Amino acid sequence: MKKESKIIAQMFDQIAFRYDMLNHLLSFGLDKKWREITVKEMNLKSKERVLDLATGTGDLAFLASKISPDSFIVGVDISTEMLKIAKKKIRKQNRSLSFQILASDALSLAFKDNSFDKVMIAFGIRNIGYIKGSFREFYRVLKPKGLLTILEFSLPFYSWIRYPYHIYMSYILPFFGGIISRNREAYSYFSQSVNSFYKPYEIENLIKRSGLVIIKSKPLHLGICHLYISVKK
Ligand SMILES: C[S@@+](CC[C@H](N)C(=O)[O-])C[C@H]1O[C@@H](n2cnc3c(N)ncnc32)[C@H](O)[C@@H]1O
């Protein structure tokens, strides 16, 4: 599956106005739970520098800033429309947040080596065209002993759920996602990209090959999602 940054950015630009609503609706609210588990597992500490890659509308970064208000968080994405929504949400908060937004490709980050204590990415890695290159960047910007946390969809491991899941992902989700976002292609892309994405053991191998050490790799909700936490030694 070809994933050019420019085309992916255009697709997210087009669905940005409905992205949050459809996320919560089509995952039956589970997306919030998955992000909560992710941020909890990251064990954020005071005054840490945190990079949220493929931040989109910023939901993961907002959660992180809630749990660790004095951390400095940077959210990076290639879709300017997704970032506009994140910025609107920042303005709506009635407390000051140390959450900054930057339009940038995860494959060529404008940050110095060893500049973040934590790097996180939720539902973003699947959309990045050159995954090995992205791991190289994640490793580069992480400080020694820094944590990389990846949350991504995977396929359910029990056979009894695979068939209904396939029907939901291949027909029901693209249908409703298409009507509500007025972009059926984007929601068909979503299903196809989940189906054709690396399996958890393959992601683990990529993480290890990038020089990071895995400290946690666990399926969430019957394997629909997977959380990977690794450390830069
Ligand atoms: C499914 S959304 C996830 C957004 C958010 N992290 C969340 O939890 O809802 C995927 C995001 O990845 C971004 N993205 C895709 N490729 C990227 C790249 N190469 N660099 C930075 N962001 C990228 C898209 O623009 C989109 O906003």
The number of residues in the chain equals 233
Nearest to 100 by CA among 134, 69, 61: 61
β-pairing, 72-77 with 99-103? parallel
CB of 63 closer than 8 Å to CB of 34:
no
Tell which atom from ligand 1 comes closest to the C-alpha of 105: 20
Map tokens 């189906």 to a residue. 195
CB of 12 closer than 8 Å to CB of 79:
yes
Nearest to 220 by CA among 51, 40, 64, 67: 40
Q: Select from 107, 111, 127 the residue to mutate for testing ligand 1; criterion: most ligand atoms less than 8 Å from CB.
A: 127
Predicted local confidence at residue 198, as pLDDT: 96
Give 223's DSSP letter: G
What is the Å distance from ligand 1's center to 32 Cα? 16
Q: Select from 60, 123, 138 the residue to mutate for testing ligand 1; criterion: most ligand atoms less than 8 Å from CB.
A: 123
At 174, list the tokens: 């693209």
The rounded radius of gyration (Å) of the Cα atoms in the chain is 17
SS3 call for 232? strand
Predicted local confidence at residue 94, as pLDDT: 67
Tell which atom from ligand 1 comes closest to the C-alpha of 82: 27
Query: What does each of the 233 residues of the chain score in pLDDT, given as a tens digit?
Result: 778 999 999 999 999 999 999 999 999 999 999 999 999 999 999 999 999 999 999 999 999 999 999 999 999 999 999 999 999 999 888 677 789 999 999 999 999 999 999 999 999 999 999 999 999 999 999 999 999 999 999 999 999 999 999 999 999 999 999 999 999 999 999 999 999 999 999 999 999 999 999 999 999 999 999 999 999 99
Q: Which residues contact 83 (CB under 8 A, 6 or more apart)?
A: 55, 75, 77, 101, 103
What is the Å distance from ligand 1's center to 205 Cα? 22
CA atoms within 13 A on the CB side of 45: 5
What is the Å distance from ligand 1's center to 200 Cα? 19
- Is domain 5-157+199-232 classified as CATH 2.60.120.10? no
Give 43's DSSP letter: T
CB of 109 closer than 8 Å to CB of 85:
no
Predicted local confidence at residue 2, as pLDDT: 74
What is the Å distance from ligand 1's center to 155 Cα? 20
Tell which atom from ligand 1 comes closest to the C-alpha of 20: 9
What is the Å distance from ligand 1's center to 167 Cα? 25
What is the Å distance from ligand 1's center to 199 Cα? 19
What is the Å distance from ligand 1's center to 67 Cα? 22
Q: Select from 79, 81, 83, 111 the residue to mutate for testing ligand 1; criterion: most ligand atoms less than 8 Å from CB.
A: 79
